[in-house]
Structure 1
Amino acid sequence: MEHWVPYILLFLSALVTTLLTTPLASKIAWKVGAIDYPEKRRINKTPIPRMGGIAVFLGLFVALLLQVFGYRYLGWPFSIMPPRSRAISYPLLGLAMLTIFVTGLLDDKFSLKPHQKLFGQVLAATFAACSGLVIGNIVSPFTGEFIELGIWTYPITVIYLVAYVNIFNLIDGLDGLASGIAVIASFTMFIIAFGGGRFDAAGLSIALAGACLGFLKYNFHPASIFLGDSGSMLIGFALGTISLLNVTRIAGLTTIIVPLVIAGIPIIDTFSAIVRRMRGHVSIGQADRGHIHHRLIAEGFDQRQAVLLMYAWTSVLCIGSYVMTQVTLWPRIAIFFLLFVISALFCRHLHLFEPVLLHHQDPDTGDDTLITPDDPAFKAEEDKLEHHSHHHLH
């Protein structure tokens, strides 16, 4: 039991801190004008403050202070302090976390342009990679040989972290959705990290679970505050960091797949959005109402039901990912394939890859406009796209 005490205290410190500071984050958001007002694409019907990331960040920060104190004075295991075999600069990793948080704060307040936001994300990921948090060499599960990334180690790590940030940023579309998925994902990563002796990953993941659970009290439907980019980007970056702490330096290829399965829903949502927009010949950055949560609402689920269904789907993926870490290669591949098929059937049922926006040239004005399925011209444009697709195939 004594082995669990530090982690229980880390969890509780982050949970209580976030519970106490979320009302403060709400006041700050109102004061600086970081508010989500109702509009066509948004679900909320009333103005909601969006700087919840402040409370999540403070929860993680207090847990960090407690960890340092516990390590130095109470004989806790290293959850932040590295062993000799691990050359990671934790102050630089902390700077990376601060950078992503500040980028999100600035976006919440000023609505940064996409390239400005991307710059902050890349800068934070670069700090993390320079701290020693890199994917490193990969072991082939079939031959046991090393796949050396060499000079590509750092750019691949940066791309991985930036991708993790953005998939969680995109999934944050319903009350309690991103924060709840983060609780399930981070708790799963904690169990995997603790079982594998990766105590730094275990410490960060259990603190993140506590912070997100504390925030969920205010964020579950009907939400009184949103994560904002300060929260969703921080959570995505923290989960990406935890997944890399679990596999740093040398990793099995299937081990790297596990954190991707855990984040399966945000990854599916992002991938389907890219495919959907490419099929509709619209910009990949063009917002639409084709995300998983939009589709579930359109199916007749209310906000709570849609979120709980996505929690359940995430839980299935997380249980599967944990079992994958406990079995040999071929059962692991079989489980991955089963989870893939289940998710694929769900995606097909929700029509996730079908466009909800199409480019259309107005015959009267000649202007290039976006149309939705509600417009009479949508069906004609869709048929035209299908015709072109078949023509190219033949």
Structure 2
Amino acid sequence: MTIFTYLKLFLGSFFIALLLTPLVRRVAMKFNFMAFPKEDRWHREPTALFGGVAIFIAVMITMVSFLGLGDNLGLFDLRQIIGFFIGVFLIFICGIIDDFKKVVPQVKLLFQIIASCVVIYFGISFTINHAYFEKLPVFVVQLIDLLVIPFTILWIIGITNAFNLLDNMDGLSSGVAGIASVMLFLSGIIYR
């Protein structure tokens, strides 16, 4: 892929989210889907829910566009793409349910574990570069390989909850996600 393809995908996703966010906000306000001020939130005025809907749609449109850009399927295993979509969808559904009716932390964790396991089942997980461990005994390397799956699960759960915890202040979660996206985009270009 060329740098322009990366740029089109990045900017496309950004502008789709930018355009959809006010629309989703208006719909949420119209139907009174609002988060009202309370002790564990920093906002002082009612705030529209469903901000994740715009981001979810933007990511999905971008991913589908990416697949439609010709030979991009060769970059990924179709099985992994399906796993990614299912995992993201499960987390998204849990978030939507949580916006409608508060979901207890145990159920959120269950959704996150299931989504993580789905992603892993479909072939997405951290990988180990065995070159770094060639001087270690074989059983240690095998142990490290076994830790990849729990580490992947913990990482997905950790990132999901980190952004969920940041969501108590208006714009903080999306701002951090935006900064992280820019950094991932730049590192993807630099280290491709």
Q: Residue 102 in 1 paired to residue 93 in 2?
A: yes
Specify the alignment match of 1:44 in structure 2: 43
> How big is the alpha-carbon RMSD for the aligned residues of Structure 1 and Structure 2?
2.6
- Structure having the higher Rg: 1
- Residues in 2 aligned to 1:71 and 1:159: alpha-carbon distance in whole angstroms: 34
Query: How is 1:286-365 mapped onto 2 (pairs within 5 angstroms)?
Result: none
Match of 1:147 among 133, 141, 154: 141
Report the residue type matching 2:155 in the other structure.
Y
Report the residue type matching 2:10 in the other structure.
F
- Residues in 2 aligned to 1:7 and 1:166: alpha-carbon distance in whole angstroms: 28
Report the residue type matching 1:22 in the other structure.
T
Preserved contact between residue 17 and residue 55 of structure 2 (Cα < 8 Å): yes
Instruction: Quote how far apart the aligned CAs of 1:115 are.
Output: 1.0
Change (3 A) 1:188 1:147: farther
Specify the alignment match of 2:127 in structure 1: 136
Change (3 A) 1:8 1:137: closer
Match of 1:171 among 159, 166, 171: 166
Query: How is 1:52-63 mapped onto 2 (pairs within 5 angstroms)?
Result: 52-63=51-62
2:70 match: secondary structure: helix
Instruction: Quote how far apart the aligned CAs of 1:87 are.
Output: 8.4
Instruction: Quote how far apart the aligned CAs of 1:46 are.
Output: 1.4
Match of 1:90 among 81, 85, 110: 81
Preserved contact between residue 40 and residue 168 of structure 2 (Cα < 8 Å): no
Q: Residue 112 in 1 paired to residue 111 in 2?
A: no
Change (3 A) 1:107 1:42: same
Preserved contact between residue 38 and residue 44 of structure 1 (Cα < 8 Å): yes
Preserved contact between residue 6 and residue 189 of structure 2 (Cα < 8 Å): no
- Residues in 2 aligned to 1:143 and 1:65: alpha-carbon distance in whole angstroms: 39
Query: How is 1:202-241 mapped onto 2 (pairs within 5 angstroms)?
Result: none
- Residues in 1 aligned to 2:98 and 2:32: alpha-carbon distance in whole angstroms: 12
Change (3 A) 1:143 1:59: same
1:70 match: secondary structure: coil
Report the residue type matching 1:56 in the other structure.
I
2:44 match: secondary structure: coil
Specify the alignment match of 2:182 in structure 1: 187
Q: Residue 161 in 1 paired to residue 152 in 2?
A: no
Preserved contact between residue 171 and residue 177 of structure 1 (Cα < 8 Å): yes
Preserved contact between residue 83 and residue 123 of structure 2 (Cα < 8 Å): no
Instruction: Quote how far apart the aligned CAs of 1:139 are.
Output: 4.5
- Residues in 1 aligned to 2:188 and 2:46: alpha-carbon distance in whole angstroms: 39
Instruction: Quote how far apart the aligned CAs of 1:141 are.
Output: 5.1
Change (3 A) 1:189 1:12: closer
TM-score scaled by structure 1?
0.43
Instruction: Quote how far apart the aligned CAs of 1:97 are.
Output: 0.9
Render the CA deviation track for 1:290-342: whole Å, top value 9, x for unaligned.
xxxxxxxxxxxxxxxxxxxxxxxxxxxxxxxxxxxxxxxxxxxxxxxxxxxxx
Change (3 A) 1:31 1:61: same
1:154 match: secondary structure: helix
- Residues in 2 aligned to 1:112 and 1:69: alpha-carbon distance in whole angstroms: 36
Preserved contact between residue 97 and residue 124 of structure 1 (Cα < 8 Å): yes
Instruction: Quote how far apart the aligned CAs of 1:196 are.
Output: 2.9
Report the residue type matching 1:24 in the other structure.
L
TM-score scaled by structure 2?
0.83
Specify the alignment match of 2:113 in structure 1: 122
Instruction: Quote how far apart the aligned CAs of 1:83 are.
Output: 3.9
- Residues in 2 aligned to 1:180 and 1:10: alpha-carbon distance in whole angstroms: 19
Q: Residue 12 in 1 paired to residue 7 in 2?
A: no
